């Protein structure tokens, strides 16, 4: 099995069993917007990790930026001072609106494109630097996704991701509430294997995230988001709260982000 085929198989294994999904009162595909807006604000004020300096250096001289899976702009807005314009691609129109408001406040020309990558790659066009943070685990067709990133960049591609699949931090809870053993892969190492299969040798930097301790405003929000992700009814929220406390949850850290071990992958087109 090729690295690309293994990636697809690993992601398909995350599919929620139909009988569990059918019984869910609320959609488990939770997108808590406050997590993304807070992340954008915190990182714009104080960038961290290996991804920012790689993109910042490539924007000397200043140039255009394309942010794929932009959400509220956490990957691209910290680069505003060296960006002649930023194009943001995302499937969530509300988060794109948050991005546009923040870009306007920073005085950087911005364009928002609603759609899924690489379907909208032609509309997005080519930029000097392409950034893509915490998106690749959503891409089952990883090869065309990565190729489109490469073809859209003049100077550099910067991909940031967690070392493990984001939902692995919920695996113990799936076993506790449903008796279901969830997958462990794919991982950032698997993404590197796919890139090498495509003839790309990325620079790899591993680091630890510092700004994830207060991603939810309060413990009740954490409980509700976790309950939804586990496909549990609202009446079981107290059980979820107990499970989170048993697991040492601090009340604000998101459990769908798979910890603070981050990997940055950088390559030239």
Domain count, the chain: 1
Strands 261-267 and 153-162: antiparallel
In Å, what is the CA distance from 152 to each residue of 7, 78, 100, 160?
Answer: 23, 20, 21, 17
* Residue 240 belongs to some domain of the structure: no
Domain containing 206 equals: 3-20+32-168+182-213+258-267
Report yes or no on 12 lying in a domain.
yes
Write down the pTM of the prediction: 0.95
Residue 222 belongs to some domain of the structure? no
Interaxial angle between packed helices 188-197 and 142-151, expressed in degrees from 0 to 180 and rounded to the nearest 10: 70
Q: Is there a contact between 132 and 54 (Cβ–Cβ < 8 Å)?
A: no
Is the residue at 25 inside a domain? no
Q: How far is residue 230's CA from residue 126's CA, in Å, rounded to a whole number?
A: 39
In a domain, 104, yes or no: yes
Q: How many residues in the chain?
A: 269
In this structure, is residue 253 part of a structural domain? no
d(CA 143, CA 139): 9
Q: Which two tokens stand for residue 46?
A: 């104080």
| Domain membership flag for residue 235 | no
**What are the pLDDT tens digits along the chain (269 aa)?**
999 999 999 999 999 999 999 989 998 987 788 889 999 999 999 999 999 999 999 999 999 999 999 999 999 999 999 999 999 999 999 999 999 999 999 999 999 999 999 999 999 999 999 999 999 999 999 999 999 999 999 999 999 999 999 999 999 999 999 999 999 999 999 999 999 999 999 999 999 988 665 678 889 999 999 999 999 999 999 999 999 999 887 667 777 776 789 999 999 99
Query: Is residue 69 in a domain?
Result: yes
Domain CATH code at residue 136: 3.40.50.150
**Is the CB of residue 258 less than 8 Å from the CB of residue 184?**
no
């Amino acid at each position: 099995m090729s690295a690309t085929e293994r990636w697809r198989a690993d992601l398909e294994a995350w599919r929620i069993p139909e009988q569990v999904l059918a019984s869910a009162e609320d959609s488990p595909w939770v997108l808590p917007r406050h997590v993304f807006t807070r992340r954008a604000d915190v990182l714009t004020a104080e960038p961290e990790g290996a991804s920012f300096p790689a993109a910042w250096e490539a924007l000397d001289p200043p140039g255009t930026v394309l942010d794929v899976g932009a959400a509220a702009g956490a990957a691209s807005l910290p680069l505003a001072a060296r960006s002649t314009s930023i194009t943001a691609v995302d499937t969530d129109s509300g988060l794109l609106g948050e991005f546009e408001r923040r870009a306007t406040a920073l005085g950087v020309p911005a364009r928002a494109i609603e759609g899924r990558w690489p379907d909208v790659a032609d509309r997005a066009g080519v930029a000097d630097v392409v950034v893509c943070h915490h998106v690749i685990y959503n891409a089952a067709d990883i090869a065309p996704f990565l190729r489109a990133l490469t073809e859209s960049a003049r100077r550099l591609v910067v991909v940031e991701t967690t070392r493990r699949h984001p939902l692995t931090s919920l695996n113990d809870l799936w076993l506790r509430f449903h008796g279901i053993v969830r997958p462990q892969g794919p991982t950032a190492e698997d993404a590197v294997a796919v890139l090498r299969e495509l003839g790309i040798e990325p620079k790899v930097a591993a680091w630890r995230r510092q700004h994830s301790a207060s991603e939810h405003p309060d413990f009740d929000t954490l409980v509700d988001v976790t309950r939804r992700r586990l496909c549990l009814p609202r009446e079981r929220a107290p059980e979820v709260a107990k499970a989170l406390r048993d697991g040492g949850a601090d009340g604000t850290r998101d459990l769908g982000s798979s910890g603070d071990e981050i990997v940055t992958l950088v390559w030239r087109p």
